Amino acid sequence: MGEPGGRLGAVNVLVAMSGGVDSSSAAALLLEQGHQVTGVTLRLWGGPSDAGCCSVSDVEDARQVAAELGIDHHVFNMSEEFETHVVAPYVAEHAAGRTPNPCIECNRHLKFTALLAAADRLGFDRLATGHHARIVVADGGAQLWRGVDSGKDQSYVLSMLTPAKLDRVMLPIGELTKAEVRAVAVSHGLRTAAKAESQDTCFISSSIGRRGFLAERTDLTPGALVERESGDVVGEVAHLQLVTVGQRKGLGVDALGQHRVAVAIDPVGHRVLVAAPDEALVDQVRFDQGSLTWTGLPLLPGEPTLVQMRSHGEPRLATFAEAALHLVDPVDPVAPGQTVAFYDSVEPDRVRGSAVVIP
């Protein structure tokens, strides 16, 4: 493996500060390393929020941490871009029977495109974030690797980063465990040292949930549960747009008492196709070729790769093909709209790229 970080000498760094302990500690570590540090918080969501990194209190926490560290802090309003690239597609994807990943799209369009462009315009040398992942310089370029803390690893949600972007980004806490990150915050007396982690979609408040949020923006319609093999109608769901391919909860049981699995969603025909667990398994995952992003050297057709289809999902061995992944062992069906991340089969912590799953 190459040199972690691979950054020599002090640079002028813009640090994305969400108001959490990870980004707070990232800023503190960069200061310790002698870099010139400026904090920035993105104002992304103007609606109600009590989760994620979009609440008013999170902005204030970031501002206070910057003051505690003695660095400048700015707030950039990117709410229009957030609506265009994250919220509106999130609603549209659900309406079309797909299941998007808003965190990845936020990273793709906002944090590592719009914010990186802003950093360039303002004369910063690097952009830093508090993600649990590593950038390793090897073979003449920057590579994305899993974070040291496997339980907190966020390389999956960064798997859309290109080599050009990786070369401009710093991930200061990737070499630390979560406990060590909190220890950094404690040592600097930061108010976020004991702050709880954000888990939910930042623009959906707990008071209304996903159903309430989508109901305000699109029609939620019932749908028939149809057995894929026989074509028999075996039940109904109240809101077709809330069903995810691979889902078992709320779809009833078959004659053998097995929970049915959603294998396809047909919003036009108002149907959810279901199957028994063993009949639902797939050994191939198709992806949108236009969504392919390589973090480094592309995979070649026929090359083995480890694939991860959820943020903390178990990596699965597969063979890469032009428009599909051929899995060695069958898995539950993967929801269209989700991202599949490719990891190296020999160096399993190294990310190779990603793509968006299609039916």
Residues 6+ positions from 107 with CB-CB distance below 8 Å = 157, 158, 160, 161
Residues 6+ positions from 258 with CB-CB distance below 8 Å = 276, 277
Q: How far apart are CA 323 and CA 13, in angstroms?
A: 38
| Strands of the sheet with 233-237, listed across from one edge | 233-237, 223-227, 271-275, 261-266
Q: How far apart are CA 264 and CA 247, in angstroms?
A: 10
150-169 as b/e, with b when 16 or more CB fall inside 10 Å?
eebbbbbbbbbbeeebbebb
Residue 165: name the closest of 124, 108, 103 by CA: 108
Q: How far apart are CA 140 and CA 358, in angstroms?
A: 34
Residue 75: name the closest of 101, 51, 31, 40 by CA: 40
Chain centroid offset of residue 107 CA: 7
Q: Is 106 a catalytic residue?
A: yes
Q: Is 202 a catalytic residue?
A: yes
349 membership: H or E segment, kind and range: none
Catalytic residue positions?
Answer: 106, 202
